[in-house]
A and B are shown apart, each in its own frame.
Chain A
């Protein structure tokens, strides 16, 4: 062994000890994998990244992300973050459910968290699921839509008939009926989250049948819905984020998921050493994880805003039981006077 090699060995040994010592008190390192929307999707991936950036600013956490261009990228991106030795890896969106499950089983010591998915009883001990009571925000949006409608007909456009969308759908319908039991609500699913032209066609058809406030929970299909509403100068309700910028005169409110707040909550708990692995956490209005859009205040009369504020308190206090599926909705309707 030459002198050079010995010195190299010594240096690397020295560096190893330095690193292992510093890593003891090092800040947490957290990464996230976006779904196909990418980190600036003006929607939930962006919201998630904003949440992580807030943890960086306020808690000093080291954050990073991996973008997925297609569904097939999820396992590789999760692997990359695993190799980078993150303390917690986030998967943003229910599409990543299978990939996270597989990764969590392969690496039982690695902590994972997933947005918008619950594995129920099968949640591995190193995974936490984060769900949103989207129905609570949608309920408020439905209440507003119902009060703002002049024609007495509303429309709901869903992406697909799946539980995540149902929570928006039945929450919205429950809120609308709460405001006006006689209101008519048209419902249709686009069976797509990308076909904007189809969204526009469905919206046009609904407006042709007299609907004047349309709510969509259909991703990019909603671009077409909002466009149709803008052209016919009717009203729309946005989803996930504040979508007022899409049509500032027409989007009266949005049913928001504050993924940023949810991520911040989970990370700040982890920073204190708490990790609710093996469970699904449900965040709602109470935790600030769902809400209506801030721009709502510009779009609706102040009397209605006061009503909404009251309603919010009642929901947080648990006085109104908001349905998130068809069965619960049907029994909810019977409770209405």
Chain B
């Protein structure tokens, strides 16, 4: 294997996994606090649109990136109010967020861009800058993984958040304001999912369209379970998924086709299934998840 091929596999893995890392970390934040968040996909979609809109309107990619996060957080606020304050079914609320995220993105897109359901493309100059051939968002994703690991393992904030998801009644007895930590978990999860969407719409490509986010939110959710609700495990799960996609593109580029490309396209999912079945002996979901 030549150096060019190795670099290709490496950089494709990073490119592919970045949106998943942000979003899956979001999943970890929410579920550690005890709130199921299957609305990640919708939060990503809305974040992707908002980021693209802000980056174009203000010609500033970093502002766009943050606005993407805030947009995801706004949707997460709805999910938090429904599931924490009103104790609604969290799966139902999450599904509603998925529809709402896409609907709002298209709605605002039509208002801001003269009826179009796609945003106009960004120039290279107004995109997130590249460092060593990778968009800066890649490094941000790694940094946030480390930060979240630190929060969970080395800070009282993290421990209180975990206790809210594991034994909320015990946490209350210990004087922890459980709901406050749950809000923190869900809101930061929306922010991260929004960043995930933004890392697609203003770094990997340069425009938003309604099909841009199609399934990444759910793959991120799977990566979170695969990574056993642990930020580092989740990071590796995302990288693994990105790597298997890179492998699909790599093998698909051979001159003689060993396997049909349809079959090849299922590889990442099959690999994930195999690993899930063979290595995951027991799940380690937060014990009060969804309650």
Contacts and interface: CB of A to CB of B under 8 A. Distances in A.
Partners in one complex: yes
Nearest to B201: A196
Contacts of B16: 197-198, 201
B246 interface: yes
Contact of B252 (A189, A194, A223, A224): A189
Contact of A202 (B110, B207, B253): B253
Contacts of B210: 36-38
Contact of A197 (B118, B121, B200, B250): B200
Given A197-B16, A202-B253, A220-B212, A41 B205 contact: no
Contact of A40 (B8, B115, B248): B115
B117 A40 contact: yes
A201 B120 contact: no
Nearest to B263: A191
B103 to A, nearest CB: 8
Given A189-B252, A220-B211, A247 B12 contact: no
Contacts of A202: 249, 252-253
A14 to B, nearest CB: 40
A198 B261 contact: no
Given A40-B115, A40-B117, A245-B121, A204 B8 contact: yes
B156 interface: no
A41 B117 contact: yes
A249 to B, nearest CB: 10
Interface string B235-261: 000000000011011101100000001
A145 to B, nearest CB: 19
A208 interface: yes
Contacts of B248: 198
Interface string A240-279: 0000011100000000000000000000000000000000
B223 to A, nearest CB: 15
Interface residues of A, number: 39
A192 B110 CA distance: 26
A236 interface: no
Contacts of A188: 249, 252-253, 261
Interface string B89-131: 0000000000000100010001000011110110010000000
Given A208-B4, A220-B209, A245-B120, A200 B253 contact: no
B22 to A, nearest CB: 14
Nearest to B120: A245
B209 A201 contact: no
A37 B117 CA distance: 8
A151 interface: no
A208 B245 contact: no
B211 A230 contact: no
Contacts of A227: 204-206
B283 interface: no
Contacts of A42: 116-118
Interface string B205-229: 1110111101000000000000000
Nearest to A247: B121
Contacts of B110: 40
Interface string B1-29: 00010001001100110010000000000
A208 B8 contact: yes
A161 interface: yes
B15 A223 contact: no
Contacts of B261: 161, 188-189, 191
Interface of B: 4, 8, 11-12, 15-16, 19, 102, 106, 110, 115-118, 120-121, 124, 200, 204-207, 209-212, 214, 245-246, 248-250, 252-253, 261-262, 264-265
29 contacts: A37-B211, A40-B118, A41-B209, A42-B117, A69-B102, A161-B262, A188-B249, A188-B253, A188-B261, A189-B252, A191-B262, A195-B214, A196-B200, A196-B204, A196-B205, A197-B19, A201-B249, A202-B253, A204-B12, A205-B8, A208-B8, A219-B211, A223-B207, A223-B209, A223-B212, A224-B204, A227-B205, A230-B124, A230-B206
